[in-house]
Structure 1
């Protein structure tokens, strides 16, 4: 294939391997968001195929040219599990868990980012637009600019960007900022994240930062403008509405409630099993409400879906043990023969089952201690075509900036969370309707297509 005018660079390719060795499209939100753009532009996607040591030639899949980047088992361990997920992830999520700074991880991160940049440079046509995705590839923009100054480069940061007091811990902080400043547009989930990035640049490099962008000096004495701005990501709203309207999914929602013993209120948490999600805080609040007698198992059941995540990282192994111990203790204390306090599901479910769960749930609990966005909150809202249900939303999730009609909570305030849960379970239908209509308006107006269009428009403006 000839080189592409539009190239996406992400840690993973947008496909998963079938059992029979074929390929299927990944279910992720980013893949859904970019699919229309990739089809229209006949673009290329650079990424890791998901298995260590898997060497593949570039291939075409459903109108997209896929360019695999090979990673060895050591690189997966050091670049991905190590630096990306044991250094950057905890550091950028307010040090909820302690980040580890290991030079061997950093060296692997540099090497892998260089390979991604080289693969992207080879895949891009003259004057192409390249869009780099997320924290695993923070060095790629500058490396790519050095290789291909003719390109227009965007970078989107899907997770939070920390305040300087935390970011300054990183031994390689200057290199990371230099990497990101290789982009023409650096996108963040929240205005506060873009502000944190600009302040870090000002503190370390003393560059001029304004709302219009960061002025980066060039070797020839001129300046290059880097726009750092919030572009809150969203979901494919229409697909959730379509699923919520299907009679078989509505019937499944009724079946779920019946299987739980038809309690007055079904509370729902849906998360990756991650220490940033506030699952422990949620369980504590719910357990105390049962202890206090404010809720009974006949009245309320908490369904907690915790999909497996980074199962080889020590902090995640400990978290799973702790959560399962807590669930077991609460259920042991409060279950009856007919009713369970917490239905805990350590597994991932297809989207149709998730929509049925959203329709079955009276209260959605999003209690993240820190979250770039939290698309589950938006999925719940999009699915509630009946304009019912209550969203409890942590103020530390990016979605809180947009979903102002949710009940906002501070997940560290267990007493406040208990009050909010009681308020939600007792909320009259008229108030539920008023809040949900406002939430749905926001999610419908700002879907994932709107997100990708607004970012690409900013990139196009940078190109002019």
Structure 2
């Protein structure tokens, strides 16, 4: 089905081949080939709904959209991504002064490229193989095909000498594919999830192709210094390229000159100001108090907020809390745990098994330790709007982030931003990227259940003075390094790279 953009929120037409001599179509609408900043991500920053009259769009939530939307408006930006519905062909359209370039994916490609190679191979592999990754040639072939399609769309959209910023693990081949099509561009790549040591990454049959795919960029960004170091180690192991410090030298070939690729950490953050302002509204303050009342006014409310993913350590958290109840360290209804587990990749078998396991564990703990109307664990398997989440953050005495491996974990930073009252304690896994910045949290190893239990008890018994001291320091860090400064830092570094020769 082909659907043109035709409602009040969208205008524009099909993305044509770049033509510098014809920057606009006959109607005067901007077209592809002239956009100074192009973002390439698996998803568009809008949710698209097809109607009889065309399409309607709703801005998708997320820190990346928040960070890049104002920059893209100022820079005449275009966003290349999938609209989220398989077998739906969409023309390009304008939305809120950003040119949207949809990339079409078939249902078969969604299964093989996205659910398969991206989330069945790369996701577990890059998270230190927390579960075993699967390697299927058909998945890899689909990944190559789809990455080439994204690269082609970006090449058509970018202005001569423009900047293209490629996002995340679904598109690790795009930088090199785009470099071959448009050597005049400045290309950045940011990996939002971890990158493992080469001893783990070497399992991937297509390891060299993936490494070389990223090296098509001028700048490769990671969440942690250790992730950047791991990429550099894999470059040395799987290619014959020279590295010095953070820089990889890619030798010239034919008429292409030698170039240098920098690999460095740019830890992402959140829109701190917006969350702090929301936390101060009377509605959110009242909702936080109401949440405590609905829970039966417990003395201590513990909170976990995660996608239902095996990397988040939800089972470890439940085990620790269950043991605290069993040994009498805490009791219901004085202490309760609220666990929000938003749905994630529910078509994937491993995630179905995880959901069943978590829900059985919650049921067992509630059966053993709860009472009528007094649950030990309040478990919600759905998503909430930001206002509700901020109210939960304000209501919670202790925030539990027990990730087994996480690129950053923005929930930890959102909790800090919402605690304008300087109350609350953050218990944070050392395996989350946020631990590098948030040293005043109680840092734990989630595999050490006894250590996790001790940290929870320390958080529960911590004095108000100590809470305020720690939270004040944590807030200072999150306020100084928000998502806007992250985007500006990465793009500033990328644009400072030397200009490229446009000849192939």
Q: Same fold (TM over 0.5)?
A: yes
**Pairing partner for 1:85 from 114, 119, 141:** 119
Are 1:126 and 2:160 matched, yes or no? Answer: yes
1:320 aligns with 2:361: no
SS class of match (2:497): helix
Q: Which residue of 1 aligns with 2:47?
A: 16
Instruction: List per-residue Cα deviations over 1:298-345 (Å, max 9, x = no partner).
Output: 221000000000001010000000000000000001112242100000
Deviations 1:367-397 (A, max 9, x none): 0000000000000000000001000000000
Q: Deviations over 1:273-298 (max 9, x none)?
A: 00000000000000000000000012
What are structure 2's unaligned runs of at least 5 residues?
1-29, 500-504
Residue 91 of structure 1 and its aligned partner are, at CA, apart by 0.4
Shift of 1:208: 2.1
* 2:277 maps to 1:242: yes
- List alignment gaps of at least 5 residues for structure 1: none
Distance (Å, rounded) in 2 between the aligned partners of 1:115 and 1:154: 18
State the alpha-carbon separation in 1 of the partners of residues 101 and 279 from structure 2. Answer: 36
Measured after TM superposition, the shift of residue 22 of structure 1 is: 1.0
Map 1:155-304 onto structure 2 (within 5 A).
Answer: 155-220=189-254, 223-304=258-339
Residue of structure 2 equivalent to 1:107: 141
Aligned partner of 1:440 in structure 2 is 475
Per-residue displacement from partner, 1:65-105 (whole Å, max 9, x unpaired)?
Answer: 00000000000000000000000000001111110000000
CA distance in 1, matches of 2:458, 2:80: 47
CA offsets, 1:134-186, max 9 Å, x none? 00000000000000000000000000001000000000001001100000000
Any residues of structure 2 matched to 1:408-427 within 5 Å, and which? 408-427=443-462
Secondary structure of the structure 2 residue equivalent to 1:357: helix
Query: CA-to-partner distance for each residue in 1:6-33, whole Å, 9 max, x for gaps?
Result: 1000000000124864101100111111
Q: Which residue of 105, 111, 128 maps to 1:94?
A: 128
> Could you tell me how far apart the structure 2 residues matched to 1:460 and 1:95 are?
35
1:431 aligns to 2:466 (yes or no) = yes
What residue number does 2:3 align with?
none
Q: Which residue of 2 aligns with 1:354?
A: 389
Q: Give the distance between the partners of 2:50 and 2:148, measured in 1 at CA.
A: 32
Q: How well do the aligned residues superpose, as a CA RMSD in angstroms?
A: 1.0
SS across alignment from 2:188: strand
Number of the residue aligned with 1:7: 38
Which whole-Å CA distance do the structure 2 matches of 1:296 and 1:359 have between them?
22
Is 105-114 or 21-30 further displaced after alignment? 21-30
Q: Which runs of 4+ in 1 moved over 3 A?
A: 18-21
Aligned equivalents of 1:210 and 1:350: distance in 2?
46
**How has the CA–CA distance of structure 1 residues 351 and 399 changed in structure 2, closer, same or farther, with 3 Å as cutoff?**
same
Cα distance in 2 for residues equivalent to 1:396 and 1:105: 29
**Do the aligned residues in 1 keep the contact of 2:246 with 2:264 (CA within 8 Å)?**
no
TM-score (norm 1): 0.99
Q: Report the alpha carbon displacement of residue 224 of structure 1 after superposing the two structures with TM.
A: 1.1
Distance apart, 1:203 and its partner CA: 1.1
Question: Which among 84, 101, 105 is matched to residue 50 of structure 1?
Answer: 84
Deviations 1:230-279 (A, max 9, x none): 00000011110111000011000000001111111000000000000000
Alpha-carbon distance between aligned partners in 2 of 1:200 and 1:24, rounded to the nearest angstrom: 40
Match of 2:502 in 1: none
Hey, which of these two has a bigger chunk of helix by percent? 1
SS of residue matched to 2:264: strand
Secondary structure, in 3 states, of the residue corresponding to 1:462? coil
- Farther-moved stretch of structure 1 (197-206 vs 416-425): 197-206
Identify which of 360, 363, 367 aligns with 1:332: 367
Deviation digits for residues 427-452 of structure 1, max 9, x if unmatched? 00000000000000000000000100
Query: Are 1:26 and 2:57 matched, yes or no?
Result: no
SS of corresponding position for 1:22: strand
The number of residue pairs the alignment matches comes to 464
What displacement does 1:211 show?
Answer: 2.5
| In 2: Cα distance, 1:222 partner to 1:138 partner | 23
Distance in 1 (alpha carbons) for counterparts of 2:50 and 2:390? 26
Specify which of 376, 401, 421 is matched with residue 341 of structure 1: 376
Instruction: Determine helix, strand or coil for the equivalent of 2:221.
Output: strand
CA distance in 2, matches of 1:212, 1:178: 16
CA-to-partner distance for each residue in 1:208-232, whole Å, 9 max, x for gaps? 2223411111214953110000000
TM-score (norm 2): 0.91
